[in-house]
Chain A
Amino acid sequence: MIQRIWRLGRRGCELLEALGRSGQFLLQSAVGVPSREGWYLWLRQMHFVGVLSLAIVLVSGLFIGMVMALQGYTILVDFGAEQALGQMVALSLLRELAPVVAALLFAGRAGSALTAEIGLMKATEQLTSMEMIGVDPLRRVVAPRLWAGFVALPLLTIGFSVVGIYGGYLVGVEWLGVFEGSYWGNMQASVDFVGDVGNGMVKSLVFALVVTWIAVFQGYDLIPTSEGISRATTRTVVYSSLAVLGLDFVLTALMFGEFS
């Protein structure tokens, strides 16, 4: 019994220690004066995490928008309310689906790659040798990746929403014959720029920070063996997915809940 309590305590301490370490890590890598060199490094990472994730995010967005229009239509048509299709597609995309699904895809596509890349650099002593050359790897390797993720995910989320709404339009208007004017009109009447688009963006920024943070920290903190890298990559996807879904609930409650 005592043993169990002792083990629980040790677990708790380890957890707190890891949290502290990762917080310190975030602070150390996020601050720093961006130089021209840093700008270029950031650009490279934007390409790596942003542009290369674009295809998967846009294709998923298109399909999700199309599926939602199809599902929504079959429900709404029973109430004779199929004009509200645009409103339904746009609101669910902007408020929930775009930030969350884009963040999950981002964690799988870019987050795991970030972890593996930094982990590999650690395993091959590249980070250590950088330190020995007198360059702080937090600034040089981690910071550009962190900032690139922070900027890229909100942009990807916007793309997801736009393509999803267009996908809904294709299915709803072009295929199922909802009147085009009511698709856009109802959408415009119900979507509030600050309340819906803005809050979706805030969600996306929070997710971007959390997912990239988890990804780079897992890469930086892993045990430098091939097994360690594969484990850390899995952990990145699992932790960031859980964090995104959990935080989504908290943020939704704060933004759209009764006590907002």
Chain B
Amino acid sequence: MALLEFEGVNKYFGETHVLKDIDLEVEEQEVAVVIGPSGSGKSTLLRCTNRLEEIQSGEIRLDDVPLTDPDADINELRQRIGMVFQSFNLFPHKTALENVALAPKRVKNVPEEEAHEDARELLERVGLGAQTRSYPSELSGGQQQRVAIARALAMDPDVMLFDEVTSALDPELVGEVLEVMRDLAEEGMTMMVVTHEMGFAREVADTVTLMADGRIVERTAPEQFFDQPTTERGQQFLSKLL
């Protein structure tokens, strides 16, 4: 049994069919990179995974628990799914430390001291031990995104979702964020990564999933995908990148 399973998932925005019969399994400790042209539904797939969007049919299961079940305790399930966004979405009225410590304090009732201690450790882990008291507006994009990663990790999730987390960054800041993600992967975190960073995909991914027009068209090991994609769609996609 895979940690995260998608079965026959369909999603519509009004008339538009954005996810078509998605079947996908992400194993524990797997780094699953999802790529594809814009509008192919890859971000939507991530957003459905923690129910920021609702699906119209099919099922998504985490550890065999159907999280798309209307009766599922979504707040409970979301604690097990960390999400990092393209636009960081840090809380601007809170310091880096408070951003990271907030959810453990409020959701898990971790005592203030302990939550702050844990938050400090997490911020050190993403290389921001010196910025604990900074407000988001005082941090660079790369630093903000690393705080956002620490914030998601603070809930000790089973799986982390990364939604084009480097797309809003200046090119010179992309590296520091990918570095943190690479470390996470090495530590054995299960990750679903939507990205345009092909170097990262090739190097860190265990599997590469290509989406186009709301469907999964190819899913292989990165070596194979980047050397010789089996589908025509994959070949087209790669040829545009090069």
Are A and B subunits of one complex? Answer: no
